[in-house]
Amino acid sequence: MSEGGTREELFAEQRSEEERSSDERRRRWRLILGAPAESAGYRPLGDEDAARDSALAALYNTQDRPAGAAGRTPKTRAGGLGGSAPAVARWLGDIRRYFPTTVVRVMQTDAMERLGLRRLLLEPELLEAVEPDVSLVATLLGLRTVIPERSRQSARDVVRTVTDQLERRLARKTRVAVRGALDRAARTRRPRRADIDWGRTIHANLRHYQPAYRTVIPERLVGYARSQQSMQRDLILAVDQSGSMGASVVYASVFGAVLAGLRALRTRLVVFDTSVVDLTAQLADPVDVLFATQLGGGTDINQAVAYCATLIERPDDTIFVLLSDLFEGGQRDDAVQRMGELVRAGVTTVALLALNDDGAPAYDHNMATALAEVGVAAFACTPDQFPDLMAAAIERRDLALWAADNGIATAAPVGTGPL
């Protein structure tokens, strides 16, 4: 083929690619704008895209109707699903077929409000059709008391699917981080002979290698204290189960189950609203933990901290994590005072404002600032950051500095500004 012919093909291929790119842009805009876009010159959709368009229209197409008696202008769906569970189940199947999982989850969340999906979640055929995620689990937990008997097993299956996914994602990292921190915390430079870690001892003394003797003469020994064989740390997770903390409660249950499996760490889980419930006995199964919670209602942090304080036997070896948005319905000043007493007693204490992937949380800034003034670091963290946070707490590092090193904004005492 001649050079000219090759160039012709090259430019023809470039034009073809540009046309395909233009067609794809117009196709996407047609899906965004809906059916009225065809009157503006957009091409009709193919069968598969028409199915996508129908699924989008059922959720997002709205039209105004005359103002109601209260003077408002309510919205009604131009599409809609007729309010039946079978229709919604089919729609859920369609969106899982035609859209990626990340988009499906957004559409499911929007459907909770737009289509009244919360009510229809009580139907087993709908539960079996949804794409399970943390948000859905939090919704189910909020509906726990009204889920009918015929749907309870389906609800548990959804929750089990999500907690299993989270364990696969988070368990190994958590075990590695926490075990490493426990090992480092247990090391001593004066170990008994049976407790010497020879690998680390040799590595720490390589500079003392003696060529003439072809050996290393150690100047310091690295090993483990005898306490390694027993519980090294006590961890108390106090979890606010108010409605706004739904996703955080889900993650806390999974982390609680993983941490409870580490022999050198004694883990307790306490959930609270205006009452306090100790769920330590159920920690082996996060699904049992979640179905024992009651999302919604008020919050009494002071009462929860008071109960948790009675569980502390070794303050210097105890980590207390308060997971709450800090909107206190009880005695705020008393709660802050109790938290300060824990810090002064030697307890490693942190207030987690959220434990999820949802971004900046809403929380009581005044109480967070008050906690910072008595030495309690207050900040939110993601599930992927939580294992490293636990490692830092086990090693008794400054948790406010740990947060700053990881780019996490913390509450700060009045006059100092955030870290």
SS3 call for 364 = coil
**pLDDT band at residue 164 using 50, 70 and 90 as cut-offs:** very high
The mean pLDDT value for 400-413 works out to 90
More confident residue, 355 or 24: 355
> Which segments within 72-226 are labelled E, that is strand?
75-77, 187-188, 209-210, 215-216, 223-224
From residue 249, give the alpha-carbon distance in Å to each of 172, 266, 388.
20, 20, 19
| Cα-Cα-Cα-Cα dihedral sign, residues 112, 113, 117, 122 | positive
d(CA 387, CA 391): 6
More confident residue, 138 or 348: 348
Q: What is the pLDDT of residue 271?
A: 96
Token output for 65: 């109707």
The mean pLDDT value for 74-94 works out to 57
More confident residue, 119 or 394: 394
β-pairing verdict for 318-323 and 348-355: parallel
More confident residue, 344 or 202: 344
Cβ neighbours of 119 (radius 10 Å): 14
Q: What is the pLDDT of residue 255?
A: 97
Task: Dump pLDDT digits (tens) for 258-291.
Answer: 999 998 899 999 999 989 999 999 999 999 999 9
Q: Residue 144 burial (CB < 10 Å; 0-12/13-18/19+)?
A: middle
418 has a pLDDT exceeding 80: no
SS3 call for 235 = strand
Q: What is the pLDDT of residue 120?
A: 67
For tokens 């009918």, name the residue.
148
H-assigned helices in 222-331: 246-260, 286-292, 301-309
The mean pLDDT value for 200-219 works out to 79
Element (H, E) at 380: strand 377-381
211 has a pLDDT exceeding 70: yes
Angle, helices 85-98 vs 101-114, to 10°: value is 150
In degrees, to the nearest 5, what angle opens at C-alpha 75 toward C-alphas 74 and 81?
135
Task: Dump pLDDT digits (tens) for 291-341.
Answer: 998 776 678 999 999 999 999 999 999 999 999 999 998 899 999 999 999
410 has a pLDDT exceeding 60: yes
Task: Dump pLDDT digits (tens) for 166-191.
Answer: 999 999 999 999 988 887 766 555 56
- If you write DSSP's letter for every residue of 16-77 in order, what string do you get? HHHHHHHHHHHHHHHHHH-GGGGGGTPPPP-HHHHHHHHHHHHHH-EEE----TTS---EEE
Q: Which domains does the chain have, with CATH numbers?
A: 191-230 (no CATH), 231-405 (3.40.50.410)
- The mean pLDDT of the chain is 81
Adjacent-strand bridge partners of 270: 238, 278
From residue 356, give the alpha-carbon distance in Å to each of 108, 245, 380.
18, 9, 8
